Amino acid sequence: MRRPLVAVLLAAALTATAAACAHPQNIAPKPGETTTTTRANTPTTARTTTAGTDETEQVCAQATSTSKDAVDQLTDKLEQAQTAANAGNNAGALAAASEARRIATDWKSDLTDLARRPIRADVRTTLENGIATIDRILTTNPQNLDPRQAERDVRGFLEDLDRVCS
């Protein structure tokens, strides 16, 4: 990682998002508009598939590649968010933070799909731990998220994935 992924995530994406959306309930709808309630996505439970050929090797390759790509893309987007926030461009920071959130959500979804395939139990457990880590970061209130711990958690997942896939 070029910069601490989660530290940048908090400093740029979550803080910018929290600042931009601090009190959405105070925004009155325009004439003709209605208000809606945003609900958190329901958690996805990985289903274990036991039938079929063992796909551990392919899943490991895909999970490693997907995770590397996601971390690289997140780092880039979060650096953009930080640069925009430092320049006072809240709209740019929010847009980059939203894109980073989408990347993290897609990463989690990809790992969830991979965990459903017929793989060794230790690889499945590692993927599920990574999914939980990403989900915890995505759902934790920015003010309550410890960036150093979140970064350690992501790094720990990547190291565990490398270890079980070796």
* Whether the predicted model's global pTM rises above the 0.85 cut: no
Q: Quote the pLDDT of residue 31.
A: 55
Structure tokens of 144? 């309550």
Domain ranges of the chain: 5-18+54-165
Structure tokens of 102? 């989408």
Q: Quote the pLDDT of residue 147.
A: 76
Q: Quote the pLDDT of residue 132.
A: 95
- From the list 114, 116, 155, 118, the residue with the least C-alpha distance to 133 is 155
Alpha-carbon distance 77 to 9, whole Å?
A: 9
Q: Quote the pLDDT of residue 32.
A: 55
pLDDT digits (tens, 9 = 90+) for 26-38: 344 445 544 444 4
Q: Quote the pLDDT of residue 51.
A: 59
Q: Quote the pLDDT of residue 39.
A: 40
Given a cut of 50, the residues of the chain with pLDDT beneath it are: 1-8, 10-30, 33-49
Q: Quote the pLDDT of residue 149.
A: 84
CA–CA distances in Å: residue 44 to residues 105, 112, 128: 12, 8, 11
For residue 114, give every residue at least 6 positions away whose Cβ sits within 8 Å of its Cβ, in sequence order, or none: 59, 62, 63, 66, 127
Q: Quote the pLDDT of residue 161.
A: 96
- From the list 4, 19, 32, 2, the residue with the least C-alpha distance to 142 is 19
pLDDT digits (tens, 9 = 90+) for 110-120: 999 999 999 99
Q: Quote the pLDDT of residue 25.
A: 44
